[in-house]
Amino acid sequence: MEEKYTLAKWMNDELSEQELHDLKESHDFSLYEKIRTHSAELKTKDFDEENMLNKVLVSKDDSSKVIQMAQNWFFRIVALILVSLGIFMFYQENNLVTEMAKNGKKSVFVLPDNSEITLNSGSEIKYKKENWDNNRILHLDGEAYFKVAKGKKFDVNTSLGKVTVLGTQFNVKTRNKRFDVICFEGSVQVNQNNEIIILKQGDKVSFENNEIIIKSKTTETFPSWLRNEIVFEKEQLKNIIEEIERQYNISIKYNSKFGNQLFTGKVPNNNLDVALEIIASTYQLQPIKISAFQYELKKRNEI
């Protein structure tokens, strides 16, 4: 209640110098400033204070009670304005649009600037649609292919690094502690652990545990997963199995000690039997079907 009373006095320019100083030092003062600016633009019906006071005086002889009633009425109006504007501004500042692709699915959507994004299975992007022109930032969890409208620019933030783009086509993938970026057209700037790398058309880079593990070229013109292939390069078995689980929306049980060798190759994301057989044969395993959505990989000599 004390805070509302202070805000009401501030809105009415009645604070002492010390009270004003304390308010300016508060964490939320910048928000209060915005609210005051917006509230000043509001137009409300004229309030006939004198007429109200006269009516109250007729029924009440105690002038102190009349003053208190008028003050309470005024403070309630101010508090209502502050709360309403605060909620509106909080919504504007924090309202994020979420686009996602569930396991076993892909999703395509268009940004306000007509840039097109395709999300791979088990991926999610968040951004502020209402204030896109002033806050061109995307937050990616998973993998996505970007076709950026000519002349448009935005940042793609991930938990492992940031990619800044300008009128280009590229792919970004973040899974566990691995971060992969491929540029198919134009150029992109990759910022990973304060290290800046510029990728041109055909360049790709991969990080794992904050270290570069791959920096090479590709002749591909778009991501392999868009043509129903999953391409792995120097990938751990754990990451391979998790990707297959996402693509086919299944669960695979296996012993994490089966293989430490890194896998480089392709598996289909539209034929589960073939995908499992490729991985199983590489690591000397045998795929066992438990149910429609559950599989297990066992050592051949254990069967």
Residue 13: per-residue pLDDT: 73
CA neighbor of 281 nearest in space, from 270, 297, 296: 297
Which is more confident, 218 or 21?
218
Residue pair 103/121 in contact by the 8 Å Cβ criterion: yes
Whole-number Å distance between alpha carbons of 4 and 218: 62
Structure tokens at 284: 């000397």
Q: Picking from 51-60, 167-176, 180-189, 252-261, which range would have the lowest pLDDT averaged per residue?
A: 51-60
Is residue 159 over pLDDT 60? yes
- Work out the average pLDDT over 87-106: 76
pLDDT at 44: 47
Per-residue pLDDT at 91: 46
Q: At residue 167, does pLDDT exceed 80? A: yes
Alpha carbon distance 267, 105 (integer Å): 17
Q: Check pLDDT > 90 for residue 240.
A: yes
- Predicted structure pTM score: 0.69
Range scoring the smallest mean pLDDT among 75-79, 127-131, 174-178: 75-79
pLDDT for res 127: 96
Q: Give residue 300's pLDDT.
A: 79
pLDDT score of 70 more than 70: no
Burial 98-132 (b: 16+ CB within 10 A, else e): ebebeeeebbeeebeeebebbbbbbbbbebbeeee
- Bridge partners (DSSP) of residue 113 are none
- Residue 204 in this model has a pLDDT that exceeds 90: yes
Is the distance from CB of 66 to CB of 56 less than 8 angstroms?
A: yes
> Which strand (E) or helix (H) includes residue 108?
strand 107-110
**pLDDT surpassing 50 at residue 118:** yes
List Cα–Cα distances, 87 to 9, 27, 30, 292, in angstroms. Answer: 21, 17, 15, 47
Q: What are the distances in angstroms from CA 196 to CA 6, 200, 295?
A: 48, 13, 41
* Tens of pLDDT, residues 11-66: 667 777 777 767 666 656 666 666 666 555 544 455 455 565 565 455 555 555 55
Q: Which of 131-135, 187-191, 239-243 has the lowest mean pLDDT?
A: 131-135
Higher pLDDT residue, 51 or 237?
237
Question: Taking 60 as the threshold, does the pLDDT of residue 4 lie above it?
Answer: no
What's the mean pLDDT in 223-252?
96
Angle between helices 2-11 and 17-24 (to 10 degrees): 110
Cα(262)–Cα(277) distance, integer angstroms: 17
